[in-house]
């Protein structure tokens, strides 16, 4: 299996004040003692220039710092460029053209579910025509991903994640599906000639290795910019394979492994809360929607919400190259709402039959209610920037060895003498990881099914035995068996067959009368009556023998 490689960063040749990322990203944009000298607008304007300069010079090290710092990548235009550069630098494509998957012969097994979920997307868009445009783009991108990487399984919530990319790439642009694209489109950049930025970009062509960071937007005959579907697809593809791979199996085993990390993270942050809610005994299924959709299901991305916190969350994850980041964000979300959770816990103790349902109930009620609170999320992101290094927790033993958490999205970029750099992964290497993860998932499912079958078999046998022991026919047969055994014992002890015949007749007579009377259907102890008679006669016979022996003596 081919190992990932490391990107070497070019030396900094531009104005040094724009490229001391350690100082700029971690001090000017985050430290309160310095921020007070600048308004938010001034900070954003200065940061916008830093991002544009870094994009032009393809300075990955600076972009990684700027993406996790306050405000993220600021605007849709800059996010589009930054996400594309960072993700495409992470996942390298082989040279050569790709297979056209537009033909229905490449149809994926999950496409029907994709159609259903897409119809529930972008419900907040009031313009019906625009809503249908976004839905068409969303459907086309997801289906192309699934057809290109047929091993992947679609999961409900994946469309929410892709919707975030759709909004960023489609904002203020029209969408022309590939089969309707005008042949005479003009390549043009929608990021040039921006008066307040004073930044120009080179217009060299892009290839699979992303030799330029320019987004080539298509301009139609009416002068409207169109979505670059190919670049959008590349971003979604890289994010899917590098960050979401665990979620795209045909079972929830690997996602549940990730969810179980959350209680342990809460324990490292607030042990008292962990103990009070007994999170060591509660499966954290309350977090499944938030983690599988990276909070995009609760915080719907909107085109008119450029500053929405959901985009800053994605800025952080892509720049930190970490899928443990959403887990830690959720843990901090729980801790930040500690008082309300404990209050709800105490108030509803008597309303739930068990504490497991209680914890799930209060988590859903409290956390869903604060999912749109941007001030709360600002505090959480600030904690991620300042306190993430203090969370000392190892989760390698909790996930499979091919998981994104320990391979392609570890959140641990490599440090070189030239600065901070990201690991580059060859597509074949990532596909190999995917195949191994699928194999492991299949084995795990098989083992789980075998255990379930064993439990089911044991339960079935027990159930049959229980039914059998309670059935009249079984009781009737047992009574005959016990009666015969008693007769054999009498015959053996008396050593005389003449005592056997009358006792047998008596026993059969009692059973017959009981059977005719229907008593074997009423009583579970029909065998006691004839057996009692036989044993009583045996005792009487023995007693009379002993008496006769004493008298004769």
Helix, strand and coil content of the chain, in percent to the nearest 5, comes to 60, 5, 35
DSSP states of 336-402: HTHHHHHHHHHHTGGGSSSHHHHHHHHHHHHHHHTTT-HHHHHHHHHHHHHHGGG-----GGGS-TT
Could you give the count of Cα atoms lying within 13 Å of 265 in the half-sphere of its Cβ?
26
Q: Note whether 437 and 400 are within 8 A (CB).
A: yes
Question: Which of 358, 378, 395 is the C-terminal boundary of a domain?
Answer: 395
Q: How far is CA 103 from CA 99, 143, 151, 227, 405, in A?
A: 10, 11, 18, 22, 35
Question: Which of 488, 503, 533 is the C-terminal boundary of a domain?
Answer: 488
Q: Note whether 121 and 167 are within 8 A (CB).
A: no
Q: Is position 317 within any domain?
A: yes
Is 378 in the same domain as 464?
no
Residues 213-229 pLDDT 10s: 333 444 554 545 788 99
Judge whether residue 308 has pLDDT over 90.
no
Give the pLDDT band of residue 232 (cuts 50, 70, 90).
very high
Judge whether residue 65 has pLDDT over 50.
yes
Distance CA(92)–CA(87), nearest Å, equals: 9
**Chain-centre distance for alpha carbon 170:** 27
Q: Is position 238 within any domain?
A: no
Distance CA(516)–CA(259), nearest Å, equals: 64
Residues near 13 by beta carbon (within 8 Å), at least 6 away in sequence: 57
- Highest mean pLDDT among 100-104, 172-176, 193-197, 410-414 belongs to 100-104
Distance CA(318)–CA(88), nearest Å, equals: 11
**Chain-centre distance for alpha carbon 76:** 27
What's the chain's length in residues?
553
Number of domains in the chain: 3
Give the pLDDT band of residue 413 (cuts 50, 70, 90).
low
367 or 502: whose pLDDT is higher? 367
Judge whether residue 104 has pLDDT over 60.
yes
Q: For the chain, what is the mean pLDDT?
A: 77
Distance CA(322)–CA(408), nearest Å, equals: 8
Q: Are strands 423-426 and 91-92 parallel, antiparallel or unpaired?
A: parallel
Read off the pLDDT of each residue in 48-67 and give the average, rounded to a whole number.
94
Pick the closest to residue 166 from 191, 208, 132 (CA basis): 132
State which residues form the domain around 75.
16-87
Q: Is position 110 within any domain?
A: no
The pLDDT score that the predictor gives to residue 396 is 80
Residues 517-547 pLDDT 10s: 444 444 443 334 444 444 455 445 545 544 4
Token pair of 336, please?
A: 């930040």
Is 388 in the same domain as 439?
no
Is 45 in the same domain as 82?
yes
Q: Is position 149 within any domain?
A: no
Judge whether residue 112 has pLDDT over 70.
yes
Three-state DSSP state, 414: strand
Give me the phi and psi of 25, to 5 degrees please.
Answer: -75, -35
Judge whether residue 299 has pLDDT over 70.
yes
Distance CA(50)–CA(158), nearest Å, equals: 32
Is 468 in the same domain as 430?
yes
Give the pLDDT band of residue 451 (cuts 50, 70, 90).
confident
Residues 431-445 pLDDT 10s: 999 999 999 999 998
Q: How far is CA 1 from CA 304, 315, 405, 410, 430, in A?
A: 45, 30, 18, 19, 9
Of the ranges 48-57, 163-172, 410-419, 437-446, which one carries the lowest mean pLDDT score? 410-419
Q: Is position 388 within any domain?
A: yes
Judge whether residue 371 has pLDDT over 60.
yes
Q: Is position 321 within any domain?
A: yes
Host H or E run for residue 423: strand 423-426
Alpha helices in 182-260 (DSSP H): 229-243, 253-259
Is 448 in the same domain as 337?
no
Q: Is position 375 within any domain?
A: yes
352, burial (CB in 10 Å: exposed 0-12, middle 13-18, buried 19+)? middle
DSSP states of 288-337: HHHHHTTTTTTS---TT-TT-HHHHHHHHHHHHTBSSHHHHHHHHHHHHT
279 or 510: whose pLDDT is higher? 279
The pLDDT score that the predictor gives to residue 30 is 56
DSSP state of 3: P
Is 386 in the same domain as 452?
no
Give the pLDDT band of residue 505 (cuts 50, 70, 90).
low
Residue in the structure block whose two tokens are 């809503």: 131
Q: Note whether 262 and 270 are within 8 A (CB).
A: no
The pLDDT score that the predictor gives to residue 343 is 95
428 or 455: whose pLDDT is higher? 428
- Highest mean pLDDT among 58-72, 196-210, 411-425, 472-486 belongs to 58-72
Is 261 in the same domain as 355?
yes
Question: Which of 87, 104, 130 is the C-terminal boundary of a domain?
Answer: 87
The pLDDT score that the predictor gives to residue 43 is 87
Is 432 in the same domain as 385?
no
Of the ranges 48-62, 400-414, 446-460, 473-487, which one carries the lowest mean pLDDT score? 473-487
Token pair of 298, please?
A: 């609760």
The pLDDT score that the predictor gives to residue 386 is 87
**Chain-centre distance for alpha carbon 399:** 12
Is 461 in the same domain as 368?
no
Residues 78-94 pLDDT 10s: 999 999 999 999 999 88
Is 390 in the same domain as 317?
yes
- Highest mean pLDDT among 19-23, 210-214, 265-269, 479-483 belongs to 265-269
Residues 128-179 pLDDT 10s: 999 999 999 999 999 999 999 999 999 999 999 999 999 999 987 777 775 5
Is 256 in the same domain as 373?
yes
Judge whether residue 417 has pLDDT over 60.
no
Is 263 in the same domain as 374?
yes
484 or 21: whose pLDDT is higher? 484
Q: Is position 483 within any domain?
A: yes
Distance CA(9)–CA(24), nearest Å, equals: 18
Judge whether residue 206 has pLDDT over 70.
no
DSSP state of 12: P
Of the chain, the end-to-end C-alpha distance in Å amounts to 99
Could you give the count of Cα atoms lying within 13 Å of 420 in the half-sphere of its Cβ?
18
Judge whether residue 487 has pLDDT over 90.
no
The pLDDT score that the predictor gives to residue 195 is 36
Hey, how many other C-beta atoms are within 10 angstroms of the C-beta on 480?
15
Read off the pLDDT of each residue in 47-60 and give the average, rounded to a whole number.
94
Per-residue b/e over 92-111, b at no fewer than 16 CB within 10 Å?
A: bbeeeeeeebeeeeeebebb
Q: Note whether 53 and 18 are within 8 A (CB).
A: yes
359 forms bridges with which residues in the sheet?
Answer: none
């Amino acid at each position: 299996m081919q190992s990932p490689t490391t990107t070497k960063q070019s030396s900094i040749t531009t104005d040094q004040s724009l490229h001391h990322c350690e100082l700029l990203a971690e001090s000017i944009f985050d430290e309160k003692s310095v921020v007070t000298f600048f308004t938010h607008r001034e900070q954003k304007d200065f940061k916008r220039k830093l991002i544009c300069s870094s994009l032009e010079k393809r300075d990955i090290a600076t972009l990684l710092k700027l993406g996790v710092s306050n405000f993220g990548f600021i605007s849709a235009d800059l996010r589009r460029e930054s996400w594309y550069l960072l993700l495409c630098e992470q996942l390298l494509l082989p040279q050569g053209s790709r297979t056209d998957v537009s033909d229905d012969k490449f149809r994926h097994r999950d496409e029907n579910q994709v159609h259903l979920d897409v119809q529930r997307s972008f419900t907040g868009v009031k313009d019906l025509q625009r809503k249908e445009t976004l839905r068409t783009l969303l459907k086309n991108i997801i289906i192309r991903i699934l057809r290109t990487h047929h091993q992947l399984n679609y999961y409900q919530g994946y469309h929410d994640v892709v919707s975030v990319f759709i909004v960023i790439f489609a904002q203020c642009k029209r969408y022309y599906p590939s089969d309707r694209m005008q042949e005479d489109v003009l390549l043009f950049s929608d990021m040039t000639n921006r008066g307040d930025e004073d930044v120009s970009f080179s217009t060299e062509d892009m290839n699979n290795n992303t030799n330029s960071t320019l987004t080539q937007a298509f301009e139609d005959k009416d002068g409207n910019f169109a979505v670059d579907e190919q670049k959008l697809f590349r971003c979604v593809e890289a994010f899917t394979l590098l960050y979401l791979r665990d979620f795209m199996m045909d079972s929830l085993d690997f996602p549940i492994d990730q969810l179980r990390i959350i209680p342990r993270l809460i324990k490292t942050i607030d042990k008292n809360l962990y103990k009070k809610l007994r999170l060591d005994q509660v499966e954290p299924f309350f977090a499944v929607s938030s983690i599988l959709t990276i909070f995009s299901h609760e915080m719907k991305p909107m085109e008119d919400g450029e500053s929405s916190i959901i985009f800053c969350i994605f800025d952080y994850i892509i720049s930190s190259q970490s899928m443990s980041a959403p887990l830690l964000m959720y843990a901090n979300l729980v801790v930040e709402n500690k008082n309300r959770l404990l209050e709800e816990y105490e108030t509803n103790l008597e309303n739930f039959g068990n504490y497991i349902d209680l914890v799930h109930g209060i988590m859903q009620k409290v956390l869903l209610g604060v999912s749109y609170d941007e001030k709360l999320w600002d505090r959480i992101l600030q904690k991620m920037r300042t306190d993430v290094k203090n969370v000392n927790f190892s989760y390698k033993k909790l996930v499979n060895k091919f998981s994104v958490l320990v391979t392609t999205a570890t959140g641990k970029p490599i440090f070189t003498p030239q600065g901070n750099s990201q690991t580059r992964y060859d597509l074949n290497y990532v596909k190999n990881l995917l195949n191994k993860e699928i194999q492991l998932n299949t084995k795990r499912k098989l083992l789980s099914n075998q255990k379930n079958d064993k439990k089911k078999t044991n339960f079935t046998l027990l159930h049959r035995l229980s039914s059998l022991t309670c059935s009249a026919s079984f009781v009737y047969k047992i009574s005959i068996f016990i009666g015969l055994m008693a007769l054999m014992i009498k015959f053996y002890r008396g050593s005389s067959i003449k005592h056997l015949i009358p006792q047998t007749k008596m026993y059969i007579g009692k059973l017959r009368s009981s059977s005719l009377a229907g008593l074997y259907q009423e009583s579970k102890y029909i065998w006691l009556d004839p057996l009692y008679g036989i044993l009583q006669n045996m005792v009487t016979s023995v007693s009379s023998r002993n008496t006769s022996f004493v008298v004769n003596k």
